[in-house]
Structures are given as structure tokens and as C-alpha cells.
């Protein structure tokens, strides 16, 4: 199984509405894209200063399933139109578990 982990830090002027739109659109992706076994995301709980603002984990049966997700036009559209304009920094890793 492949676990995709991504952390986002938003630009300082990002609005609550923009953050809510990210969550809404990611929720739709999890319901429509094939191959996702588990999909969890949300805003940082604020327990440690300096953390990223938002995190996501997604599990797939194998690398091919992850690649379908990564390259899917709906996923790319969310990245470009919703996340990209408010993104300050992104860090990601894919783990074989």
C-alpha cells in the first residue's frame, strides 16, 4: 500500500473562505476519484508553533493507484485553481506501508 502525505502552508493573506474551499473540493475528490482507500485531511490543530497549516493523507493499493490520483485532471484542477493561488509552501512524501 502507498500512503501519500502532504503538508501545506498558506500565504499570510489567505482567507477563511479560501481555506474552506480547499476542504470542500478535496472532499469531492475523495468521493469521485478511483483507487483511494482512505483520505483524511484538515487544518492543523494548533498544538505546536511552526507547523504547516493543513495536512492530508491518502492511501492507495499500490503505486499505480497513487499515480492515477496524482495525474487525474480533477486533482490537477484543484491544485491549480484552488490550492495554487493560496499556497506558500508544500511538502509531500509517499510511503510504502
Tens of pLDDT, residue by residue, the chain (97 residues):
999 999 999 999 999 999 999 999 999 998 889 899 999 999 999 999 999 999 999 999 999 999 999 999 999 999 999 999 999 999 999 999 9
For the chain, which residues make up each domain, given as ranges? 2-96
Contact indicator for 59, 46 with CB cutoff of 8 Å = no
**pTM for this prediction:** 0.93
Q: What is the DSSP letter of 97?
A: -
Identify the CA nearest to 15 among candidates 84, 90, 89, 86.
86
CATH number given to 2-96: 3.30.70.100
Contact indicator for 57, 5 with CB cutoff of 8 Å = yes
Amino acid at each position: 500500500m502507498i500512503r501519500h502525505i502532504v503538508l501545506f502552508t498558506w500565504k499570510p493573506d489567505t482567507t477563511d473562505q479560501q481555506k474552506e474551499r480547499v476542504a470542500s473540493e478535496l472532499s469531492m475528490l475523495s468521493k469521485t476519484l478511483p483507487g483511494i482507500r482512505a483520505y483524511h485531511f484538515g487544518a492543523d490543530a494548533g498544538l505546536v508553533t511552526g507547523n504547516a497549516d493543513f495536512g492530508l493523507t491518502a492511501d492507495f493499493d499500490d503505486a499505480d493507484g497513487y499515480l492515477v490520483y496524482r495525474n487525474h485532471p480533477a486533482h490537477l484542477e484543484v491544485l491549480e485553481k484552488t490550492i495554487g493561488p493560496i499556497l506558500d509552501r508544500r511538502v509531500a512524501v509517499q510511503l510504502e506501508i
